[in-house]
Structure 1
Amino acid sequence: MVVTESQIRALIRLLADEDRRIVQTISDKLIDIGPLAVPLLQEAEIEQPEMAERIASVLEEIRGGKLEQELVDLASAPDEDMDLEKGAFLIARYAYPSLDVPQYIRQLDEMAQEIRDRIGPRASGEETVKTFNRYLFTEQGFKGNTKNYYEVENSYLNRVIDRRTGIPISLSVVYLLIGRRLHLPIHGIGMPGHFLVKYESDRYKIFVDCFNGGALLTEKNCQRFLTEAGYGFDEKYLQHSPVRAILSRMTKNLLAIYSKLDDSLKKARLGKFIEILGCDSREGGL
């Protein structure tokens, strides 16, 4: 059955009914209609502020439900086949539903190409990392947000790329996505309380702290950090983080922020995202 614009508008008007059962029935119908109803709901949200809360709830179910299904499909893959880039942009689309993902993919492609041009075919691992870091943190200006660490935009990949600012895990994801375009032997390292990237070849092994301007750390540096931070040291803290764990950690960071803001709709949806990812990650956040 094809639903017309006038029928959708009529349903939206019924959201103003005082009977909660009717409101729930109408909400369910609009949710079933799905993306077709979104532009009209957004219009009504502005024009009828008295219904804003009910409309926001319907919009959340339409958008969130679609993303949930996409996340189910993504998470059904084995760990080694999960797509970090697709997952990170999926999380970003939760806050930015009209996000132009291809535009950001092009930006990542262009940055990778610029680094490739600088590195050349015979660069050593050490030269590669130093060239990469100089480009990303000095030339492009990516940096840790030390002034407003818990700002929600620090956790959405598109905003990290826009503002060149983020937290350890989001900056590390940018590094990983560019590095994988260059076929570099790099991995995310989800230490408690801090996230790093590790470059690991036969001849050169180093940890990169993307939050602190690409500072290069040895394993002893990491052990010292963990000990001084009160976590103690365990070999598992320096193991590679699978994509599932990285996406779960990104989502848990957002859940913590929205919990502090007491945003019940986002708390509920992000909780479902974490369940879908099915990763009982005991890593610290951020």
Structure 2
Amino acid sequence: MTREEAEAILIKAGEGPDEGFPLFEAALACAVHDDPSRDTKAAVDLARDAVERLRRRAESESPEEAVAETLAGDLRLTGDVITYDHPDNADVIAIAHRRRGLPVALGVFYLHAARAVGLELYGVDFPGHFLLRIETDEGPLALDPFSEGRVVLPSELSRRALRTGLMPDVAARLELLMAPISDRAVLIRLQNNIFARAQQAKDWPRAERSALRRALLNPKDHRPWLDVAAAREGQGALAGALQALSRAQILDGGAAIAARAARERVRLRLN
């Protein structure tokens, strides 16, 4: 797959509805878009193996046990606690080789397998740490893909929420803490992770690519284009930064003031 082919997949996914969003295909395209020199076979094989194993386990085990035993037990997917900020932790191709990664990147494999076998598993945009929500006969449960898919008790969810700075009345509302998000939002959160790390490392080309992927995945959102502009400015590509800022203004008049100020700053640097 070339970078251009990966972009075509992301454009199609971005223009489509949330229902039936091709999460794994789009995540794989994101990884190729970042580095098209790699072979995707390991990631494809891992995703296929996850589906086959989970289907068998789901016939005799509870949903939460089947998911955790398949993805963390059989396939050894777990969080990288040693080199948490390593770029490979946010890349599904690298994860297929290392079997370690960030919660949201690991979650892509969890969600893909669950979708294929008919389990109700969703991403949860929990503050500071991505989680999964699975529907069971006893009600919804929170799973942590970073901690081998283990169940996170309600009391622990509230404690985690308090540690992120949420007010006690909000941290006690499990329906808010466990609200499911779309698969599109899951993949966008992953790209946000990549952008933040690349920006911190001043790896502006990688930051630009991740911001562009967010723009393709959610074409009505102006905010990714502001990040594209910042990454291009970091590389000294001022004309390209101006183009991205203009795109942001077109998409959302509410961004006009910030984008206009940024455009003027960049324009002055051109003269």
TM-score (normalised: structure 1)? 0.67
Q: Which one of the candidate residues 9, 14, 31 is aligned to 1:92?
A: 31
**The one of 170, 190, 210 aligned to 2:105:** 170
Picking from 184, 188, 196, the partner of 1:256 is 196
CA radius of gyration, larger in: 1
The Cα shift of 1:102 comes to 5.3
Q: Which residue in 1 is equivalent to 2:212?
A: 272
Tell me the equivalent position of 2:226.
Answer: none
1:83-162 to 2 correspondences below 5 Å:
83-101=22-40, 104-120=43-59, 123=60, 127-162=62-97
Aligned residues of 1:109 and 1:181 also touching (Cα < 8 A): no
Q: Alpha carbon RMSD of aligned pairs, Å?
A: 2.4
Q: Deviations over 1:185-206 (max 9, x none)?
A: 1111111101111111444421
CA distance in 2, matches of 1:241, 1:177: 15
User: Is the contact between residue 67 and residue 149 of structure 2 (CA under 8 Å) also seen in structure 1?
Assistant: no
Q: What's 1:50 paired with?
A: none
Maintained 8 Å contact 2:7/2:33: no
State yes or no: 1:71 paired with 2:6: no
For residues 134-171 of structure 1, give each alpha carbon's deviation from its aligned partner in whole angstroms, at most 9, with x where no partner exists.
Answer: 23223332211011111000000111121110111111
Counterpart position of 1:30: none
Secondary structure of the equivalent of 2:114?
helix
CA distance in 2, matches of 1:222, 1:141: 24
**Which residue is 1:82 aligned to?**
21
The one-letter code matched in structure 2 to 1:188 is G
Q: How many residues matched? A: 215
Equivalent position to 2:154, from 219, 229, 233: 219
Q: 1:189-204 residue pairs with structure 2 within 5 A?
A: 189-204=124-139
Residue 183 of structure 1 aligns with an amino acid whose one-letter code is G
Which SS does the other structure have where 2:166 is aligned?
A: coil
State yes or no: 1:246 paired with 2:186. Answer: yes
Give the letter aligned to residue 245 of structure 1: A
Report the secondary structure of 1:197's partner residue.
Answer: strand
CA 1:117–1:69 in 2, change beyond 3 Å: closer, same or farther?
A: closer
Residue aligning to 1:20? none
- Report deviation, 1:280: 8.2
CA distance in 2, matches of 1:251, 1:91: 8
- State how far apart, in whole Å, the 1-side matches of 2:6 and 2:53 are: 33
Q: Structure 2 regions of 5+ residues with no counterpart? A: 224-271
Give how far 1:241 is off: 1.3
- Structure 1 range deviating more: 212-221 or 96-105: 96-105
Identity of aligned residues (%): 24
Q: Residues 271, 110 of structure 1: CA spacing in aligned structure 2 closer, same or farther, 3 A cutoff?
A: closer
Instruction: Tell me, yes or no, if the aligned pair for 1:187 and 1:198 is still in contact at 8 Å.
Output: yes
Q: Deviations over 1:28-63 (max 9, x none)?
A: xxxxxxx7xxxxxxxxxxxxxxxxxxxxxxxxxxx3
- Determine the C-alpha separation between the residues in 2 that align with 1:248 and 1:280: 14
